[in-house]
Amino acid sequence: MKIHIKNGHLIDPKNGIDSKKDLFIAAGKIIAVGESPEGFIANQIIDANNLIVIPGLVDLSARLREPGFEHKATLESEMQAAVAGGITSLACPPDTDPVLDEPGLVEMLKHRAKQLNLAHVYPLGALTHQLNGQEITEMCELTEAGCVGFSQADSAIKDTQVLWRAMQYAATFGFTVWLRPEEPYLAKDGVAHDGEVAARLGLKGIPTASETLAIASILRIAKETGAKVHLCRLSTAEGVDMVRAAKKTGQQISCDVSANHLHLTDFDIGFFDSNAHLRPPLRSQRDKEALSAGLVDGTIDAICSDHTPVDDDAKLYPFAEAEAGATGLELLLPLILKWAEDNKVNLNQAITTATEMPAKILGIAAGNLSVNSNADICIFDPKQYWKIEASALLSQGKNSPFLGLELAGKVKYTLVNGHIVHQSE
């Protein structure tokens, strides 16, 4: 299959391209950018006039809910949602049921994902058995099975000795440890940012110190053990400052933020909207601005969707009892575009945070449009608005704090390995 994408505006941060250029694809690879190779005859021509052509997005956190939570979402529904959102590679956290702590499970997940032939799936293995925070997993075996890193998902390790050992062990083999910084005792039973809104609504707060204390321990242990660490879902201004300072001293560390936290604050909880019950919690306006600034100055490396499909029933509880999380795969691109526009960030830089940078963190060959790379491509209309509503989402999770909002940025084509896996009007 040979495809010619013509007349599109190409944005490829890695290769410094931000202009109108054609793209030529054959045998699943990009074979030329700009000029047509000699004798190239396309089987299909995609006219991308007025559209933007970018590398397929790389999402650092998408819960696919398989195995174990098929009533919330299935691999198939979520992979469809991913490509509908222009995402061609994604990392999934290990908090499935059973937990991704055995090579067999990881192999099965990889195999099932491959059969669907949609986005590439990169599982994160559990750092500890059952995520129990006590015994470390068979990290070498899990890596062989396809894990690209090790994570505790939302179950922070309480015992710092275990955390130390886990990071030492991972460091032995050069594996990356993915941790969402949260001191579990301070965050215990908390459901909202410990600020004015929580005070008014009578919700148990999660203080900023819960994040900063955890970052302090993680940074220190990473330094002592030499472990490669990726910090997931920063949420506080103070947390951003700490990472900025650590990077200044030359510490090798990466981190991400969820698209939700770049747009929302605890005020969006309104009158107990359970769709705004997220983990980490939505924080203050000041935190939101600091996250944005951190992303602009490179302290924060990547934006992810933090896709967490939740079934309707699990949201039909009072705020604190409702399950945390929001659907995100199909909102990632429009939310990045909106963030860029709101903060006057150029599109090139914004796109980097969801293509080149996350690919680098994952250590995968993706997120760029270099010649000879896999033809994983997203083509979107930056001016087409669409309304966020249940019927507009392919994900089985319809839970979103953005419901009702109209956002610009509609994915028209998604290609994975040179195949068109999604197309829309």
Site residues (vs other proteins, CB under 8 A): 194-196, 198-205, 207, 270-272, 274, 313, 316-321
Q: Closer to other proteins by CB, 284 or 352: give it.
A: 284
CB of 326 to other proteins, least distance (A): 18
Q: Which whole-number Å values give the CA distances from 407 to 337, 355, 369, in the listed order?
A: 9, 20, 26
Q: Round to whole Å and give the CA distance between 86 and 318.
A: 34
Q: Closer to other proteins by CB, 61 or 208: give it.
A: 208
CB of 134 to other proteins, least distance (A): 25
Q: Closer to other proteins by CB, 205 or 358: give it.
A: 205
Query: Could you report how far apart the first and last alpha carbons of the chain are, in Å?
Result: 22
DSSP code of 279? S
Q: Closer to other proteins by CB, 71 or 200: give it.
A: 200
Q: Round to whole Å and give the CA distance between 228 and 151.
A: 12
CB of 181 to other proteins, least distance (A): 20
- Active-site annotation holder among 273, 306, 376, 381: 306
Q: Closer to other proteins by CB, 42 or 320: give it.
A: 320
User: Has 313 been annotated as catalytic?
Assistant: no
Task: Give the 3-state secondary structure percentages of the chain, helix then strand then coil, rounded to 5.
Answer: 35, 25, 40
Residue entry with tokens 């359970």: 274
Q: Round to whole Å and give the CA distance between 389 and 314.
A: 18
Q: Are strands 150-151 and 87-92 parallel, antiparallel or unpaired?
A: unpaired
Q: Round to whole Å and give the CA distance between 162 and 160.
A: 5
- Look at residues 259, 224, 244, 399 and name the one whose alpha carbon lies nearest to residue 317: 399
CB of 392 to other proteins, least distance (A): 22
CB of 312 to other proteins, least distance (A): 11
Where in the sequence numbering do the catalytic residues fall?
Answer: 306
